[in-house]
């Protein structure tokens, strides 16, 4: 029979467990996997900082974006939390050994390339060899597309998105995941590389919308200010866009906040300063999509593409 003291300590443990899920954590319509969470080692934090972010905004699992130099410590630290992380790898694709190091990382368990963000053309030789390698190794490749600098001197990344159909046609066995400013600004047909985050209603027939419809090997990552901006510009458009591409879109956050509540970003000059990008984008998705579509975008599509068992 249980004595009073063990009963009390059990109750204390139960109430401590209840407290680990604070009441301000949103309850989303399905479990959530974030396909775009940067490993917080860059901010001199531990993988615990990634867990703090996920727990704070109600995210179940995440794809940790990891630079190849950090992969061994990332694997070791992420293994502290079984079933919460898978990892994706990036290396300097302008170096001659890029194929070798990325292949080794996939053999070590990386499930994707990404994010791939370099000052090269999207159909240039550096990117082309990554597209072939991703197809050979059967991993998706997540690309940062930007044609306009967010600040002077930033440069542009994977340029030439408007002509990306050519690449999609030429590499039918590669699964591409589009992300960042140019990918999302081009949902609107009137975008001409004027600004990273265009505002106002979306003009139907944009390049991104068309490519997602026409090419089975292109997927979209909702992450960052760019994804949030595109999905908040025009609610009517968003509703139909989510239905149209319900099997191609995947939730990602790319959020820099520390706690899943916007912490640490209050003084930033960025759009959504002081807010958690994950929370903001998941609330748009939960408002604009049916429960079934939400589940695909926030959970099922990524599990399928990244070959993760439920």
Q: CB under 5 A: which stretch of 91-99, 125-133, 173-181, 233-241 binds Zn ion?
A: 173-181
Binding to Zn ion (CB under 5 A) within 186-245 occurs at none
Nearest to Zn ion of 144, 296 (CB atom): 144
Q: Which is nearer to Zn ion, 39 or 237 (CB)?
A: 39
- Shortest gap between Cβ of 180 and Zn ion (angstroms)? 5
Alpha carbons 247 and 245: distance in angstroms, whole number: 5
Which span (37-45, 70-78, 111-119, 196-204) binds Zn ion, by CB under 5 A?
Answer: 111-119
Rounded to an integer, what distance in angstroms lies between the CA atom of residue 55 and that of residue 49? 10
Contact 207, 220 (CB under 8 A): no
Strands of 141-144's sheet, edge to edge?
33-38, 61-67, 85-90, 112-116, 141-144, 176-179, 218-221, 249-250
Report the residue number, 130 or 180, with the smaller CB distance to Zn ion: 180
For residue 62, the minimal CB distance to Zn ion (Å) is 12
Token readout for 250 is 């995947």
CB of 180 or CB of 237, closer to Zn ion: 180
Nearest distance from C-beta of residue 181 to Zn ion, angstroms: 9
The residue whose two tokens read 């959970």 is 299
3-state secondary structure of 223: coil
Query: Residue 63 or 278: which CB sits closer to Zn ion?
Result: 278
Residues 60-99 that bind Zn ion (CB under 5 A): none
Q: Which residues pair with 159 in a beta bridge?
A: 121
Under the criterion CB under 5 A, does residue 257 sit at the interface with Zn ion?
A: yes
Q: Which is nearer to Zn ion, 15 or 44 (CB)?
A: 44
Q: Which is nearer to Zn ion, 29 or 263 (CB)?
A: 263
Part in contact with Zn ion (CB under 5 A); list of ranges 27-35, 112-120, 211-219, 283-291 = 112-120
Q: How far is the CB of 207 from Zn ion (least distance, A)?
A: 19
Q: How far is the CB of 182 from Zn ion (least distance, A)?
A: 11
Please tell me the distance from the alpha carbon of residue 215 to that of residue 219, in angstroms, as a whole number: 9
- Give the single-character DSSP code of 121: B
CB 187 within 8 A of CB 249: no
Q: Does the protein bind Zn ion through residue 255 (CB under 5 A)?
A: yes
Q: Rule CB under 5 A: is residue 144 a binding residue for Zn ion?
A: yes
Q: What does the DSSP 8-state code read for residue 296?
A: I
Q: Write out the binding residues for Zn ion, residues 266-295 only, by CB under 5 A.
A: 276, 278
Q: Cβ distance 214 to 206 under 8 Å?
A: no
DSSP string, 207-262: HHHHHHHH-TTEEEE--HHHHHHHHHS-HHHHHHHHHHTTTTEE-------SSSSS
Of 309, 302, 272, whose CA–CA distance to 62 is shortest? 302
Q: Is 161 helix (H, G, I), strand (E, B) or coil?
A: helix
Least distance from C-beta 88 to Zn ion, angstroms? 12
Q: How many residues belong to the site for Zn ion (CB under 5 A)?
A: 7
CB of 262 to Zn ion, least distance (A): 6
Region class of 114: left (phi > 0), else alpha (psi between -120 and 50), else beta: left
CB atoms inside a 10 Å sphere around CB 42: 12
Shortest separation between residue 261's beta carbon and Zn ion, angstroms: 7
Q: Which is nearer to Zn ion, 41 or 246 (CB)?
A: 41
The span of 179-187, 237-245, 282-290, 297-305 binding Zn ion (CB under 5 A) equals 179-187
Residues that bind Zn ion (CB under 5 A): 115, 144, 180, 255, 257, 276, 278
């Amino acid at each position: 029979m249980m004595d009073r003291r063990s009963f009390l300590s059990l109750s204390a443990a139960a109430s401590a467990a209840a407290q680990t899920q604070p009441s301000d954590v949103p309850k989303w319509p399905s479990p959530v996997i974030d396909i775009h969470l940067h490993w917080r080692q860059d901010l001199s934090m531990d993988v615990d900082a990634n867990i703090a972010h996920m727990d704070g905004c109600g995210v179940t699992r995440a794809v940790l974006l990891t630079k190849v130099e950090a992969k061994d410590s990332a694997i070791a630290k992420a293994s502290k939390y079984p079933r919460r992380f898978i990892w994706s790898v990036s290396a300097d694709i302008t170096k001659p050994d890029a194929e070798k190091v990325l292949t080794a990382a996939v053999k070590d368990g990386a499930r994707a390339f990404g994010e791939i963000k370099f000052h090269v053309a999207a159909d240039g030789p550096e990117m082309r060899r990554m597209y072939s390698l991703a197809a050979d190794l059967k991993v998706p490749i997540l690309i940062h597309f930007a044609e306009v600098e967010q600040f002077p001197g930033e440069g542009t990344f994977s340029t030439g998105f408007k002509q990306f159909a050519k690449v999609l046609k030429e590499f039918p066995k590669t699964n591409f995941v589009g992300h960042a400013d140019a990918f999302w600004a081009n949902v609107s047909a009137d975008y001409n590389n004027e600004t990273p985050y265009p505002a106002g209603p979306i003009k139907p027939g944009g390049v991104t919308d068309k490519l997602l419809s026409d090419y089975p090997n292109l997927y979209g990552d909702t992450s960052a200010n760019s994804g949030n901006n595109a999905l908040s510009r025009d609610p009517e458009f968003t509703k139909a866009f989510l239905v149209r591409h319900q099997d191609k879109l995947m939730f990602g956050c790319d959020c820099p906040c520390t706690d899943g509540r916007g912490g640490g970003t209050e003084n930033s000059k960025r759009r959504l300063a002081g807010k958690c990008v994950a929370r903001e984008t998941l609330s748009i998705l939960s408002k604009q999509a049916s429960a079934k579509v939400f589940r695909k975008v926030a959970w099922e599509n990524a599990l399928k593409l990244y070959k993760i068992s439920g």
